[in-house]
Amino acid sequence: MLMFKVLHIIILIFVCVISGNELEFCEVFDEYAENSKKCSIRNNFTQKRYILYDVNPPEGFNLRRDVYIRLAVFLKRLIEKDEKYQWQLVLPPWGNLYHWQYPNTEFQEYLFWENFFDITSLQQYIPVIEMYKFMEEYSSGSKEIQLDCVYILQNDDEMFKTGKFEDKNEVTNCTRDSLQYYKSKRHIYTSPFWGYHNITTRNIKCLKFHGTASNLYQNLKPIQYRSIMFDHMEIALHDEYGSKEYWKARRSMRYNSELYNIAKNYRKTFLNSTDENDNTDRPADWTKEKSRRNARGGPYLSVHLRRRDFIIGRKESIPTIKNAASQLRQKMDKLGLTVLFVATDGEQHEFEELKSYLPQYKVLKFVPSDYVINKFKDGGIAIIDQIICSYARYFIGTYESTFTYRIQEEREIVGFLPETTFNNLCKTDKKCPRNGQWQIVW
């Protein structure tokens, strides 16, 4: 009997190797011990484990970048404590973001991280791979990519009602809200999966979750699962917000070098700003960067003027264009600056209105070429705006905008004095909400 069992296992392993598609005979159903056993055998073969994630669909680009940092630190710590497995973070392609509506841009889906970020820099912090690489590695030639387990994180509504917050990680019934984007046919779930119809799972669990990301280590179960996805990952909080580790992860998020170059040319051509003159030179490798506070910045003031949904959703903190102009004029006069760079999602007529209130100043915004629009789309244009804002002598942002937060972080990394960075437009001169100052830790 024992001989027979051993033989059975050897055959199983042999089939696994020659079929090249381990998924064909390894479907993960926790409740079926027989299947779990097969998976254990398969999973012992390879030490590679893949973590995938997604974020609540309406969330924008810059909150998503923050969710990446939570995962990056999560993975860094996981690797430190668990050397047995080769953990990899699969970078979720960008697409279909609510705010990405640039006219004339083609289809904004399936955009890989390399469009916006420098993958080598990210990899100097944690092992990340693009989705297409994951598909190649994981599928071994098969068209279907079946994820071993998908956890959908759900808030605990009760906690929000009572205000008593405590860590929670409980498998619970899936609410309609949680499953609204998934399609199920004979226990196989498809969609949304970043728009890929060939990605499926048989195993979805909903988690009532409250706490920091590291509370999810217990859900990884690497003996059972080779690939695991967390949906609604924005629900998990930072483990180390603002710490040295947080800033390391953040520093590794260098942009695609072409975006830096476009911003650099713009600064030089229109803003009389170069790294040599502005004392903003940085090493090409982020790990070589050092703490400093002597960046001068180009001879311009930059503003992030957030409009659109903020005019309605954040009425109490968003000024009128006229009032914003008055605040900007006062600051430029005080600093002796005559050039204003405006990053905005506002309409052209709002920009024209702003200019009309500032006739004695040079007021500019970045106008992308067709090449930039087609290649980098909304995400890349937004990054170029952010980079240009990051190199100004003085920056004023929009209260509670994550777009502004990312600029402030970048300025902290470049080495500006905090008082030139942590400023925001006020509703009026009298009513001025203040953002916190999250200064860099080296």
Which residues form the interface with ligand GFB (CB under 6 A)?
A: 58-63, 99-100, 304, 306, 309, 313, 343-345, 378, 381-382, 385, 401-403
Residue 194 DSSP class: G
Q: Which is nearer to ligand GFB, 278 or 378 (CB)?
A: 378
- The token pair that represents 325 in the structure block: 């102009």
Give 395's strand partners: 302
The whole-angstrom separation of Cα 291 and Cα 48 is 36
Q: Which is nearer to ligand GFB, 298 or 346 (CB)?
A: 346
Sheet holding 128-130, edge to edge: 128-130, 86-91, 48-53, 227-231, 149-154, 204-210, 168-172
Give the dihedral of Cα atoms 206, 210, 215, 221; nearest 10 deg.
-10
Confirm whether 136 is a catalytic residue. no
- The token pair that represents 243 in the structure block: 């710490």
Cβ atoms of residues 403 and 62 within 8 Å: yes
- Residue 134: CB minimum distance to ligand GFB, A: 25
CB-nearest residue to ligand GFB: 60
Q: Which is nearer to ligand GFB, 227 or 401 (CB)?
A: 401
Catalytic residue among 24, 59, 258, 400: 59
Q: Which is nearer to ligand GFB, 195 or 313 (CB)?
A: 313
3-class SS of residue 150: strand
Residue type, 336: G
Q: Which is nearer to ligand GFB, 168 or 308 (CB)?
A: 308
Q: Which helix (H) or strand (E) holds 18?
A: helix 2-19
- Residue 227: CB minimum distance to ligand GFB, A: 28
- Residue 67: CB minimum distance to ligand GFB, A: 11
- Neighbouring CB atoms inside 10 A of 131's CB total 20
- Residue 342: CB minimum distance to ligand GFB, A: 8
Q: Which residue has 């590679």 as its token pair?
A: 48
Distances (CA, A) of 254 to 265, 284, 376: 18, 10, 16
- Residue 148: CB minimum distance to ligand GFB, A: 30
Which positions are annotated as active-site residues?
Answer: 59
